[in-house]
Amino acid sequence: MDASTPSTESSTTQPLYRPVGQEIELFEYAYKHQLPLLVKGPTGCGKTRFIRHMAHRLKRPLFTVACHDDLTAADLVGRHLIGPDGGAHWHDGPLTRAVRAGGICYLDEVVEARKDTTVILHPLADDRRQLPIERTGETLDAPPEFMLVVSYNPGYQNLMKGMKPSTRQRFVALRFDFPPAPVETRVLIDETGIAPHIAQRLITLGTALRALGEVDLEEGVSTRLLIYAARLIQGGFPLLAACRSALAESLSDDPEVIAALMEVIEVHMG
């Protein structure tokens, strides 16, 4: 989703989330005490679902921005656009709207954004809690209800795409990982309605695929992909076909790696 049209949520249905530690308590403390939060963990482990769950729990609107290489400060703060009357009119970006609304602004995969863009977060993420808007000369003071949350996947970090220390040290950090097997099994059942014994086999398979490590895969199978496999199985697809489409083909394009993955899949699901 483009930053100029971010996802804004205020759903009446609370997204399902099963805690595995004290992440809910830490988030609530950070919110209550105006502390910005950095959530880090592998792809598909539940970071975004957790943020959505907490926004609903705290009854705050959620402004989600999927960060990318071309994200500019104007995409976050706002810009002048030409209106129907031919004149230039100011339009708030998602970060500005979140500050004005006292909402939660969630920057997903923040390290994908250019470093000169993320610098605008600094005055919001320290004790000033201010958002300067240079184009209009306005400086917004964030209300107590506003919260800044960012996330990234440490597994994809490199020298070109890491958080500057001056940015990182403005946040309280929360590390995520894939849930323990009993919790992940329950998630699959809750999300898809799949039979418990099939859910358990999928989780055992996921654990085996993750154990392959970086030798064969850049990253282990996510909870999200296991849910996709379960949905295909619930839809009537054979076990091996569902796992090939949702797991093996999603994890790699290399035919040899896919063949190796299918060997593991056949051991657990054949």
Largest CA distance in the chain: 66
pLDDT given for residue 215 in this prediction: 54
Confidence of residue 247 (pLDDT cuts 50, 70, 90): very high
For residue 221, with 0-12 CB atoms within 10 Å meaning exposed, 13-18 middle and 19 or more buried, which class applies? buried
- Eight-state DSSP code of residue 134: T
Degrees, nearest 5: CA angle 260-41-25: 140
Confidence of residue 188 (pLDDT cuts 50, 70, 90): very high
Residue 158 has pLDDT above 90, yes or no: no
Confidence of residue 7 (pLDDT cuts 50, 70, 90): low
The β-bridge partners of 63 are 8, 105
pLDDT digits (tens, 9 = 90+) for 22-43: 999 999 999 999 999 999 999 8
Q: Distance between CA atoms of 110 and 114, rounded to whole angstroms?
A: 9
Residue 157 has pLDDT above 70, yes or no: no
Residue 74 has pLDDT above 70, yes or no: yes
pLDDT given for residue 85 in this prediction: 81
Residue 2 has pLDDT above 50, yes or no: no
The β-bridge partners of 89 are 81
Contacts of 246 (CB under 8 A, 6+ apart): 225, 226, 228, 229, 232
124, 36 Cβ separation under 8 angstroms: yes
Mean pLDDT of 252-265: 92
For residue 220, with 0-12 CB atoms within 10 Å meaning exposed, 13-18 middle and 19 or more buried, which class applies? buried
Q: Distance between CA atoms of 121 and 131, rounded to whole angstroms?
A: 8
Instruction: Judge if pTM exceeds 0.75.
Output: yes
Residue 148 has pLDDT above 90, yes or no: yes
Helix, strand, coil percentages (3-state) for the chain, rounded to 5, are 45, 15, 35
Confidence of residue 194 (pLDDT cuts 50, 70, 90): very high
Residue 155 has pLDDT above 80, yes or no: no
